[in-house]
Structure 1
Amino acid sequence: MLSHPLTAASPISWILAIAAAIAYALPALATQRLQEKGARRCLGLAWALHALTLGWGLLGGLSRFGFAPALSITAWLVLTVYVVEQQLYPQLRSRWPLSIMGSVAVLLAVIFPGTPLHVNASAWLPLHLALGIASYGLFAAAVVHAALMGHAERQMRLGADHDGGLPLLTLERLTFRFVGAGFLLLTATLAAGWLFGEQLYGRSWVWNHKSVFSLLSWITFAVLLFGRKRFGWRGQSAVRVLYIGAALLLLAYVGSRFVVEVLLGRTA
């Protein structure tokens, strides 16, 4: 059985996480009071504190991992994409949902810091996990851009004024660039697990909920990319397929680990 999750995180981890959550929340809660520059600074500070929180958790080596750390790293990667994109597209507007996502993710990671990795795990396992989480981050960025695309389409149908976001075609192009990059990393992650599972985890490939949902998500994304390339899929029909693939991928690791760690209270 696991020890109570609240006892696993260090006081410094809690301090950094709470500071990051507050910095994330400020742009969302004080939208009217903060000017554009102030909101950007708060989000930049939150991003840096979040990075420190993740870094502090890794100081003792990557000995624990789970659904909440995976979500936290994914959220930080999405924020990283947003920070970079803001330099290229200053008109991009999605601070409020990203702030909420960052606050929740960084706190979840200290409440549920995960379980110890398998004793027979390879020294290459952190690289394998990094590939998987990077694919999570890219697909999450694709989902965020798809949601912004849907919002822009609804505004166009209603004849409402554009709220300063990116043009619809730019959002669509960015969405599928993230899907393509995420698909490459997901393919590399699954291939490594299939070919080198025994070296990475001390056991060969196992057909469980994680592997089944991972393969289903890979097939869904492959169909999406093929359909877009061959048949020109676009708009909300393509976005729905993206959402299905993202949901399957979320269930693959985060969902299965949530059940094991929280609902069942087991270490594996």
Structure 2
Amino acid sequence: MQALPFAFLAIVFYLGAGSWQGLALLRRVPQRPLLVRGIGLLAVISHAVVVFASLGDLDTLNLDISASASLISWLVALLLLAVSFAKPVLSAAAGLFPLAAVTILLVVGLPASGHREGLTPGIAVHILTSILAFSLFAIAAMQAMLLAGQNRALRHHHTRGIVQSLPPLTTMERLLFELIWAGMLLLTASLASGMIFLDNIFAQHLVHKTVLSIAAWIIFALLLAGHHILGWRGAKAVRWTLGGCALLLLAYFGSKFALEVVLNRP
């Protein structure tokens, strides 16, 4: 791959920024949001070269499992940096940046499937809304895990370490539901565009992805309704969020793994 030097740089930058943020959460080093954003931005720029090299031509994209994972992790990192200027989400970089580095290793180390997707405007809308929804829910999943750690520490009266590094519990919960609302809007758009622009969204090679995505949509809808009507929060909100995100992970990467790796089909 011609983008190999950029892949190496992106991995180093992601691990550097993620490690600093992780150590800052544990209060081993001081909080340096400008440093994390700066190194993270260098990682995202380097990663962009890898992404576009792996995708190929815009009219026929390579969307195999490794290229898709790299694309999504790049969007997650890009969204995380952008949102961090308005919302306190930068703590999620401690987990999400190293994951992005892993996806770069995959796209560099695994051979491309050779299958390329023809891209019409309608299909492009469906793909874009799908990966943006997944990216937002990935950030929400990391936010939920941080919230779970914060809840557990407070229940055991541990007021040092991660509790001192994170925003107040109410702010963390509010941010989690804001991410879920944004992700739900995009997931709804993804499902709607799939029904409109795909020939048969319940075709044999799509049915598992469709069913799991709809199940995730229902879980998130019930969570938002439960939060608004019944005041669901805390551990219950975390469990429902992680459950919905797990279904989306299976919907996208589980189906790709089964088709491309197990069945050896594009």
Instruction: Answer whether contact 1:92 1:164 (CA < 8 A) is retained.
Output: no
Instruction: Quote the residue 1:5 is aligned against.
Output: none
Distance change >3 Å, CA 123–CA 80, structure 1 → 2 = closer
The aligned counterpart of 1:192 is 193
The answer to whether the Cα contact below 8 Å between 2:87 and 2:175 also exists between their aligned partners in 1 is no
* 1:54 and 2:51 aligned: yes
The letter for the 2-side match of 1:248 is L
The reply to whether residue 238 of structure 1 matches residue 228 of structure 2 is no
- Give ranges in structure 1 of 5+ residues lacking alignment: 1-10
Q: Which residue of 1 aligns with 2:210?
A: 211
1:65 and 1:115 in contact (8 A); partners too: no
Q: In 2, Cα distance between the equivalents of 1:95 and 1:197?
A: 35
1:41 aligns with 2:31: no
- Of 158-167 and 145-154, more deviation after overlay is shown by 158-167
Deviations 1:3-22 (A, max 9, x none): xxxxxxxx223332222112
Offset of residue 92 of structure 1 = 4.5
Aligned residues: percent identity? 33
TM-score (norm 2): 0.83
Deviations 1:46-98, CA, capped at 9 Å, x for gaps: 12211232233345224210333332233223322332344346795344322
Q: Which amino acid aligns with 2:188?
A: T
DSSP-derived class of the 2:185 partner = helix
Give the equivalent residue in structure 1 for 2:252. Answer: 253
AA aligned to 1:20 is A
Q: In the alignment, residue 235 of structure 1 is paired with which amino acid?
A: G
- Structure 1 98/91 Cα, relative in aligned 2: closer, same or farther at 3 Å? closer
Instruction: State the 1:210 CA deviation.
Output: 1.2
Q: How many pairs align?
A: 252
Query: Which amino acid in 2 is paired with 1:27?
Result: A
**1:39–1:220 CA distance, 2 compared to 1 (3 A):** closer
Inter-CA distance 166–82: structure 2 relative to 1 (3 Å threshold): farther
Quick one: which amino acid aligns to residue 184 of structure 2? F
TM-score (norm 1): 0.82
- The structure 2 residue matched to 1:26, chosen from 8, 11, 16, is 16
Contact 1:91 1:165 in 2 (8 A): no
Contact (CA 8 Å) 1:67, 1:255: kept in 2 or not? no
